[in-house]
Amino acid sequence: MHYVRPLTMSQLEMLRHQVNIVAARLSMSPLLERKSLSTYNRRHSHLWSMGEQGKHFRLMSVFNGLFSVGKWFGEVCMWKNWITTVLVHILYVMLVCFPELILPTVFLYMFLIGLWNYRFREKYPPHMNTRISCADAVHPDELDEEFDTFPTSKSAELVRYRYDRLRIVAGKFQTVLGDVASQGERVQALLSWRDPRATTIFVIFCLFAAVVLYSTPLKALAAIAGFYVMRHPRFRHKLPSAPLNFFRLPTRTDSLL
């Protein structure tokens, strides 16, 4: 039923309220703490908490494999080890010539990774990780804020200090969100004629690319693109490339109040 008819946000909040009532009754037992029962219920999940910043480390650990692959591919492109780079070129040519081998290669690689990780499997249930919860470098004020009631029962001066700290964290988040929005607006500006010269160049490039893609085999274009990305550092420039410089299109940042 959870997947066929999922609960709405209002129903989920009502369910949490009912579970909080049960947690309050069960907390009267000397063997149970209200804090532990509320934790399993994710009580006040909509509120800010410094302890929840551990989700950042969880997200980084999830994408750690992708970051490692990106770093390794960057070393391949910079020819850190020419033997590895040559082998990657050969493998890339094989995958371009025989695209039906791409998916089998990916699944075979995942199979080998699974066999390799069998040696490092966890033999015991997972325990509490202080690093994930950011408990190894916690500030006493953060602990006091974690166990504070809602609404707060602290003084106005302490609440003002915590509010300023929250504004700093929210400001960093808004900066990253603004950068992502700027990149999306630059993509939209390619065809919006907000910069007539840039849009004219891009439209002519699209027409030229359509003719080239229609008259040239896709395998040849993929091989040329791969070899260009993995070219030797001798053929690279320290300055940004022309397409990256062209992408400095206007955004709506100046239109904000």
pLDDT of 44 reads 54
CB neighbourhood size of 251 (10 A): 19
Distance (Å, whole) CA 2 – CA 206? 47
Residues with Cβ within 8 Å of 48's Cβ and at least 6 positions away in sequence, in order, are: 166
E strand intervals along 63-175 = none
Distance (Å, whole) CA 19 – CA 37? 9
pLDDT of 45 reads 54
pLDDT of 53 reads 63
Q: Fill in the DSSP letter of residue 43.
A: T
Q: How many CA atoms lie within 13 A of 106 on its CB side?
A: 5
User: Average pLDDT by consecutive 10-residue portion of the chain (257 residues)?
Assistant: 71 79 71 54 56 70 86 90 91 90 91 90 75 71 73 84 85 88 88 87 93 90 90 83 77 75
Structural tokens at position 200:
């004219």
pLDDT of 54 reads 66
pLDDT of 127 reads 72
Distance (Å, whole) CA 169 – CA 163? 10
Distances (CA, A) of 189 to 155, 180, 204, 242: 49, 14, 15, 17
Which one, of 183, 186, 213, 218, lies nearest residue 202 by Cα? 186
* Gyration radius of the chain's alpha carbons: 27
pLDDT of 189 reads 86
pLDDT of 203 reads 93
